[in-house]
Amino acid sequence: MMADSSTIEVFRSRLTEKGYEDLAKALRSDELMKSHTSFRVGGPAQIYSEPSSKEEIIALIDTAKALGLPFFLMGNGSNLVISDDGIDGLVIRLGENFSEISSEQDPDDPEAVLVTACAGTLLIRLSSFAAKASLTGLEFASGIPGSLGGAVFMNAGAYDHDMSEVIEKVTAISPSGEIKVWNKEDLDLGYRKSRFMAEGGIVCEAVLRLKKGDADEINSQIRTYTEKRTKSQPLNFPSAGSMFKRPVGHYTGALIEQAGLKGFSIGGAQVSEKHAGFVINKGDATAKDIDDLVKHIQKTIREKFDVELQREVRFIGRGFQ
C-alpha cells in the first residue's frame, strides 16, 4: 500500500487523467474524522472526498484499487466510532453533494407516491419532505440523524417501524464495481441488517413508496416521536445513538442499569445517566475511551446475566479492524 505524503498527488493526477479534474482538486488529506461523526471522535483520513455522482464514486474506487489503497464509504457518520489514529487510504463521504430528491405518482397505485433520493440525503430532510407533501410512512425516521444510504445499509428504524417498510428498490454499486438495481425482496432487510452489510456494495439511490396521507396526522405523529426522543435520549451530548443491538428477550438499557453501570465512565466516555443504552461523549472522549467502556459493559453484562451484547455502532479505522 502507498502511504507517503505524495499519495494524494498521485491520486489527484490519476483522477485528472480520467477527466475528473474538479473531484481531484477537491480531495483533502488528513481530514479529521471527528468533524464528520456524531460522536465527535476520529483521527485523520489519509485521503478524503465528497463525490456528487455515481460516476465520481466509481472513479474514486477504481483509483484507490489501482493504487492499492483501501477505501471506506460513510454517510452522515451517526453510527460510527472512528479510531483516534485515523483511517488508512480513502474515505468517501456521501453527503450534501449527493442529496437530490424527486417524486412521482406511483403508476400502479393511485394512493402512493414514489420518492427517489440520492444516498447522501439526510433522513430528517426526507421525512420533512414527505410531511410537507402529505406523504405518510417516514414519520419514524424524523429523528434519525443518518443519511438515506446509511439507513438502507443499517435498515434503520424506530418505534416498531424500519426502512424495509418503505423501500421499493435501491441502486447500488456492487462489490465488483457494477451499478445494479436491487428490488426490496433481494435486499435481505432484517433487524439492523441488509445484504450490503453482509456482502459490501455502495447504496447510491433508493426509491421509497409512501402513501398519501393527512398532513395534520403526519405532523402530529412526528411531534409525538420527537417528544419521546427528547424525553428519553441524551440528545445534548455527542453519541451514535443506541450502542448495542437489542438482545432477544431483554432491554439493553435495563440490563446495563441493573448491572449498576448507569453513569459509569472511562475517560470522557460515559454510560448516559438518561438512557443506559447510550454511550455519550462528555466532551473530551477519545475513540479508545469509548472502545474501553463498550468492552467493559459487554464483559459486565456477560458475567452478570450471561447475555452477549452485540454492538450496533460500527468501529472503524486503525487498530479497530
Ligand X SMILES: Cc1cc2nc3c(=O)[nH]c(=O)nc-3n(C[C@H](O)[C@H](O)[C@H](O)COP(=O)(O)OP(=O)(O)OC[C@H]3O[C@@H](n4cnc5c(N)ncnc54)[C@H](O)[C@@H]3O)c2cc1C
Q: Which residues make up the interface to ligand X (CB under 6 A)?
A: 38, 73-80, 94, 119, 144-147, 149-151, 153-154, 156-158, 196, 202-203, 235, 239-241, 314
User: What one-character DSSP code corresponds to residue 312?
Assistant: S
Cβ 240 to ligand X shortest distance, Å: 5
Shortest separation between residue 118's beta carbon and ligand X, angstroms: 9
**18 alpha carbon, distance to own chain's centre:** 30
Q: Give whichever of 14 and 246 is closer to ligand X, judged by the CB atom.
A: 246
Give Cβ neighbours of residue 141 (< 8 Å, ≥ 6 apart).
123, 124, 126, 127, 151, 156, 158, 163
**Residue nearer to ligand X on the CB measure, 203 or 208:** 203
- Asked if 6 is an active-site residue, the reply is no
Segment (H or E) for 168: strand 167-173
Q: How far is the CB of 152 from ligand X (least distance, A)?
A: 7
Mark whether 308 is an active-site residue: no
Residue whose C-alpha is closest to residue 116's, from 102, 134, 98: 102
CB 202 → ligand X: shortest distance, Å?
4
What is the Cα–Cα distance from 106 to 274, expressed in whole angstroms?
43
State the catalytic residue, choosing from 78, 83, 239, 242.
242
Q: Which is nearer to ligand X, 13 or 191 (CB)?
A: 191
Active site residue 242: yes
Nearer to ligand X, 90 or 106 (CB): 90
Find out whether 126 and 75 touch, Cβ atoms under 8 Å. no
Q: Of 203 and 287, which CB lies nearer to ligand X in the complex structure? A: 203
Total residue length of the chain: 321
Q: Which of the residues 192, 205, 239, 311 is marked catalytic?
A: 192
Which cell is 63 given? 483509483
Cβ atoms of residues 278 and 256 within 8 Å: no
Q: Which is nearer to ligand X, 215 or 254 (CB)?
A: 254
The catalytically annotated residue of 50, 139, 205, 312 is 312
Phi, psi of 75 (to 5 degrees): -105, -115
Minimal distance in Å, beta carbon 215 to ligand X? 23
Instruction: Give the helix ranges, DSSP H, for 155-214.
Output: 195-199
**Please, which residues bridge with residue 91 across strands?**
48, 72
CB of 268 to ligand X, least distance (A): 16
DSSP string, 263-310: T-EETTEEE-SS-TTEEEE-SS--HHHHHHHHHHHHHHHHHHH---PP
- Residues with a catalytic annotation lie at 192, 242, 312
